[in-house]
Amino acid sequence: MTQPRLALKALWLAVLAGGLAALVVGAPAHWLASALSRATQGRVLLIDPQGSVWRGNAQLALSSGAGDAHATALPGRVAWQLHWTRWSAGELELMAACCMNHPARAQVAWNWPGLSVSLGDAAVHLSARWLQALGAPWNTLELQGELALNSQEARLSIQGQELALQGVVQLQLNGLSSRLSTVKPLGSYVVVISGQPTLGMTLTSLAPSRLILQGTGQWKQGRLRFDGVATTASGGDNALSNLLNVLGQRHGNEAQLHLE
């Protein structure tokens, strides 16, 4: 090959490499929004994404799934920064001024075709109203109260639709009430998410809750299956009867809970 041809080939390779580098570095934030929507089947959305995949912000919203035109977004915006410390690992920082006192930082490792995220210590506080966007049964219950999500050195691994968790993530539901009941509050509850032996959850009630909820769930093949029981504290049967009818099949002062 002649010298001019070698020089031309080297030039084209340099242009191509530069173009690919620019594309990667400047990858727009809407790429991340599209990937998140696909991974969650349209239930978790980034609305009006701005910036890039590596540094950007958007409104975080929930919906009942693909095709739902009534997604509900958090007030304000969620900002993120992602940088790689080496080709297969990096650090993700998230901050939502509406719901967090300080940024959450997570270590990310790319293990093709999977991904693992070390969540570290994170605390997020949300309104229970946000759950209504997920559709039934949340939009029927119209819950009010506070959701407090905490993780302590938890590590989440994602392989396709399968999830695995090392450590524990806890969700506390404080002072819940529903439009279907005049009893306010109904009570407070704790959901513990763990990964032993498979990714699952347990739901328990905190005293002195008027509505007693107990149950367990497991994540399998990209879906959560939950079964439990709702019952009333002593003397609360009549006041909570309508709510029990909505929650599940009645057996006296109990209702069978099922979600999948």
Judge whether 22 lies within some domain: no
Determine, yes or no, domain membership for 44.
yes
Q: Is residue 253 part of a domain?
A: yes
Q: Within this chain, do residues 101 and 120 fall inside the same structural domain, yes or no? A: no
CB 84 within 8 A of CB 90: yes
State residue 151's pLDDT score: 81
Please tell me the predicted confidence (pLDDT) of residue 11.
Answer: 38
Which pLDDT score, from 0 to 100, does residue 88 have? 66
In a domain, 151, yes or no: yes
Residue 2 falls inside a structural domain? no
**What is the predicted pLDDT for the residue at 235?**
62
- State which residues form the domain around 85: 27-107
Residues 66 and 135 in one domain: no
Same domain, 172 and 206: yes
Domain identity same for 121 and 159: yes
Look at residue 117 in the predicted model and tell me its pLDDT: 77
DSSP-assigned beta bridge partners for residue 108: 90, 117
Label residue 129 left, alpha or beta by phi (over 0 means left) and psi (-120 to 50 means alpha).
Answer: alpha
Does one domain contain both 142 and 56?
A: no
Residue 51 pairs with which residues in a beta bridge?
A: 56
Q: Which residues are within 8 A (CB) of 153 and not within 5 positions of it... i.e. 6 or more apart?
A: 118, 119, 120, 121, 167
User: Which among 107, 137, 156 is the end of a domain?
Assistant: 107
Same domain, 123 and 235: yes
Same domain, 80 and 178: no
Residues 121, 103 share a domain:
no
Q: In the structure encoding, which two tokens stand for residue 87, read together?
A: 């080709």
Question: Are 50 and 148 found together in one domain?
Answer: no
Decide if 70 is inside a domain. Answer: yes
Shared domain for 61 and 166, answered yes or no, is no
With contact defined as beta carbons under 8 Å apart, do 132 and 147 qualify? no
Same domain, 100 and 178: no
Pick the last residue of a domain from 107, 141, 158. Answer: 107
* Predicted pLDDT of residue 190: 93
Is the model's pTM score more than 0.75?
no
Q: DSSP for the chain, please give it.
A: --HHHHHHHHHHHHHHHHHHHHHHHT-BHHHHHHHHHHHTTTSEEEEEEEEBSSEEEEEEEE-SSTT-S--EEPSS-EEEEEEEEETTEEEEEEEETTT-SS-EEEEEEEETTEEEEEEEEEEEEEEGGGGGGG-TTHHHH-EEEEEEEEEEEEEEEEETTEEEEESEEEEEEEEEEETT-S-S--EEEEEEEE-SSSSEEEEEEETT-SEEEEEEEEEETTEEEEEEEEEE-TT-TTTTHHHHHHHSEEETTEEEEEE-
Of the candidates 59, 85, 107, which is a domain's last residue? 107
Has residue 144 been placed in a domain? yes
In the chain, which stretches have pLDDT less than 50? 3-26
Does residue 220 share a domain with residue 186?
A: yes
Please count the structural domains in the chain.
2
In a domain, 62, yes or no: yes
